[in-house]
Structure 1
Amino acid sequence: MVFSLFSFEKIQKQNTTNIPVSVIICAKNEAENIKENLPLVLEQNYPQFEVVLINDASSDDTLEVFESFSEKNKTIKIVDVKNNEAFWGNKKYALTLGIKAASHEHLLFTDADCKPKSSLWIQKMSQHFSSQKSLILGYGAYKKKKNSFLNLLIRFETFLTALQYFSYAKAGSPYMGVGRNLAYTKTLFYEANGFIEHMKVRSGDDDLFVNQVGSKKNISASVYPQSFTVSEPETTFKNWINQKRRHISTAKYYKKSHQYALGLFFTVNVLFYILAILLLSILFQWMYVLGIIGIKYVIQTIVYYNAAKKLKEKDTIYALPILEVSLILSQLVIVFSNMISKPTHWK
């Protein structure tokens, strides 16, 4: 099982490099989030870094907030992006301008609504760079909220997605990363001609780019808790579904092998529950059927729990059967919704 490659892998200590880093944050109408989260980036315990703030044609006070921080901090560089008819509402265009403006070779990306989980975020992410490793995957967690099943479901889905992309990267077949916490070099970006291969796809500045350029030789992953970022999760099921619709809509642009592997995982999970229900309803030896189900959950729990410990999401495993069924039903809603209408993207 590919998940065990990540689940049972021991975290390897990395040598601290302290290479110069450009932190890149692209924001569109994120004035309030910038006020709250940018200070945590500026206060990082790291000797040499700059923060490239990209204002993507915001209609609120985002640019003014950027400028107020810039007056007090010389490490900030502002890129003010105006609407362009050819790239209207395209985040990749804004990111490209920010990358070009960055002073350093090593780039670390996060979103305006994300907080570094520690003052060592830059250090723990950047220390994975080497002469061979030019693409670093990080974990973007969501804030825990008590007594909220939706919050538990969102965090379980986020954990499971991370388990998948970390495991496939470990297996030498990286297929995605998350823009909330991702790092790569300028050289890698330019060698791939930036986002040009999928510029017309509104989303995918993170997962499609990783899918395009990631390889067994150039990929690494940081699972130190100090390297995580954390974001505020959606608070309504409707908003979360709409968010996932945007994310899932890019999967059809993945490499065929990755589409097959991810589709197979989803199909097998769906068929397992369908067959379990059918067998329980037609067989008198229901104890044998329940025994098979029990074995499946024991093995799954062991693998998932070890991975969840690394990602600090252990509480999501305690309700594994309920969360797994709920996630499958949610994914079916997303698939059918995307078949009926196109999801909205970065505006």
Structure 2
Amino acid sequence: MIILDIAFYTLIVVVLIQVFFFLYVFGKFAFHNSKQVNTNPKTPVSVIICAKNEAENLKTFLPTVVQQDYENFEIVLINDGSNDETLEVMERFSLANQNIKIVNVEPVETFWGNKKYPLTLGIKAAKHNILLFTDADCKPVSKYWIKEMVSNFNSKTSIVLGYGGYSKIKNSILNKLIRFETLHTAISYLSFAKMGMPYMGVGRNLAYTKTQFFKVNGFMKHMRVRSGDDDLFINQAATNANTRICISKKSFTTSTPKTSFKTWFRQKRRHVSTATYYKLNHKIILALFYTSSLMFWCLSILFLVFWHFPIFGVALICIRCIALFFIYGLSAKKLNEKDLIFLLPVLEIFLIISQLAIFISNIISKPNHWK
């Protein structure tokens, strides 16, 4: 059949695109060896945590930040108009730790539901030039988190992209999907940064200088977009010259993952919505990878159902799958996510379907604010 012949030649092109992404683009991270450029533990740092109704998470995770093995750092806690005991919890920690500064932000109608406004106030209040960001529901995996992230700054570097994963929940398929999506996203943005095209970072583990923040007028270019305090800022400010990645296992943070598909889906709708505002070349490249992934599985299933593969067709699919397992295997090992590799094809298909559903949902209606 002519249609199947066209589909087969399309599959050849799709596999070539996929293999290029895996081996050339994602290989930049998979084969990367991390090197520190600054080992001075006395460089002053401001750790910034913005919290809205996070009293319980602060009680649990803030001690892991307070107890960091670093000589000179302050913690800037931003209370974004919480209506629980968040401010009281912050004040108790502040009484016990002299290096904690509290920025209490009252709700402002113009910026309601927009994390960028309180973050801006917190950044202005920070007394040090190097700013290290994480979330209230995150914890560093080691007491050397600050040291490892800061070690990547030098006279040229003003942005450091870190990795923020999610904790494991046994016998949970949803947990594996969430962690795989996080792994895939990290492989993508860390690889592009290594390739000289940084396009995003995650606020769970991200550092940049105060000088860099004000150099690009902070969040002003995308202040009207409620999400994107991390990825849109990096998309705007990061360059090949000023950005480094940090993948030391002591530099990672972990967060508590969602436990229902509905809440995770709603969270990802908000995250994905910011991609619309990325630079055009970033959007084209990311769309090319997603489209080729979707087409690969659709065409492969089509041939399995309607047509017997010639040997060349089987070889193509095997090459693509080998490249996938090889690159993701190396990357997962670097990011402590090795257990996900055994379910890789299932998780990839599930993620592609979820991303398609998120894309369609965002077209139909806009996602909500950050809390």
TM bin, normalised by shorter chain, reads over 0.9
What is the CA–CA distance in structure 2 between the aligned matches of 1:286 and 1:235, rounded to whole Å?
43
Task: Say whether 1:3 aligns with 2:3.
Answer: no
Equivalent residue number for residue 199 of structure 1? 223
Q: Partners of 1:122 and 1:284 in 2: how far apart?
A: 55
Matches within 5 A, 1:221-260: 221-260=245-284
Matching of residue 312 in structure 1 with residue 336 in structure 2: yes
Instruction: Indicate conservation of the 8 Å contact 1:124/1:226, yes or no.
Output: yes
Displacement of 1:23: 0.2
Distance 1:284 1:183 in 2: 52
State the secondary structure of the residue aligned to 2:197: coil
CA distance in 2, matches of 1:140, 1:297: 27
Match in the other structure for 2:292: 268
Aligned pairs (5 A) from 1:288-307 = 288-307=312-331
Alignment of 1:123-134 (within 5 A): 123-134=147-158
Partner of 1:119: 143
Give the alignment partner of residue 188 of structure 1, picking from 191, 202, 212: 212
Partner of 1:60: 84
SS at match of 2:321: helix
Residue 356 of structure 2 is aligned to residue 332 of structure 1: yes
Aligned residue for 1:80? 104
2:35 equivalent to 1:12: yes
Distance in 2, Cα, partners of 1:318 & 1:116: 27
Structure 2: how far apart are the matches of 1:276 and 1:229? Answer: 37
2:12 matched residue in structure 1? none
Amino acid aligned to 1:292: L
TM-score by length of 2: 0.92
Residue 170 (structure 2) pairs with residue 138 (structure 1): no
1:109 aligns to what? 133
User: C-alpha offsets along residues 283-337 of structure 1, whole Å, 9 cap, x if unaligned?
Assistant: 3346543332222111111111111111111111111111111111111111111
TM (norm. structure 1) is 0.98
2:301 maps to which residue? 277
Between the aligned partners of 2:289 and 2:28, the Cα distance in structure 1 is: 16
Aligned-residue CA RMSD in angstroms?
Answer: 1.1
Map of 2:3 onto structure 1: none
Q: Distance in 2 between matches of 1:120 and 1:285?
A: 53
Of residues 299-308 and 197-206 in structure 1, the stretch that sits farther from structure 2 once superposed is: 299-308
Query: Deviation of residue 122 (structure 1)?
Result: 0.3
5+ residue gaps, structure 2, are 1-23
| Partner Cα distance (2:323, 2:186) in 1 | 19
Q: Does 1:179 align with 2:203?
A: yes
Q: Deviations over 1:80-122 (max 9, x none)?
A: 0011122122210000000000010100000000001100000
Distance 1:291 1:336 in 2: 34
Q: Residue 149 in 1 paired to residue 152 in 2?
A: no
Find out whether 1:89 has 2:107 as its counterpart.
no
Which consecutive unaligned segments of at least 5 residues does structure 1 have?
none
Contact 1:134–1:219, Cα closer than 8 Å, also in 2? yes
Q: Where in structure 1 do 4 or more consecutive aligned residues deviate above 4 Å?
A: none
Given that residues 46 and 127 in structure 2 are in contact (C-alpha distance below 8 angstroms), is that contact kept between their aligned partners in structure 1? yes
Cα distance between partner residues in 2 of 1:178 and 1:13: 21
Question: Which residue does the alignment assign to 2:70?
Answer: 46
Q: Does 1 or 2 have the higher relative contact order (CA < 8 Å, sep 6+)?
A: 2
CA distance in 2, matches of 1:315, 1:297: 17
What secondary structure, in the 3-state scheme, does the structure 1 residue paired with 2:342 have?
Answer: coil
Asked if 2 retains the 8 angstrom alpha-carbon contact of 1:280 and 1:286, the reply is no
Farther-moved stretch of structure 1 (4-13 vs 249-258): 4-13
3-state SS, counterpart of residue 29 of structure 2: helix
- The one-letter amino acid of 2:197's match is S
Distance 2:221 2:309 in 1: 55
The residue type paired with residue 32 of structure 2 is: E
Task: Give the AA of the match of 1:65.
Answer: V
In the alignment, the residues of structure 2 paired with residue 68 and residue 9 of structure 1 have an alpha-carbon distance, to the nearest angstrom, of 42
In the other structure, the counterpart of 1:27 is 51
Letter in 1 for 2:179: R
User: Number of residues paired by the alignment?
Assistant: 347
Counterpart of 2:237 (choices 191, 213, 222) is 213
Distance 2:34 2:219 in 1: 32
Contact 2:38–2:153, Cα closer than 8 Å, also in 1: no
Would you say the 8 A contact 1:174–1:215 is kept in 2? yes
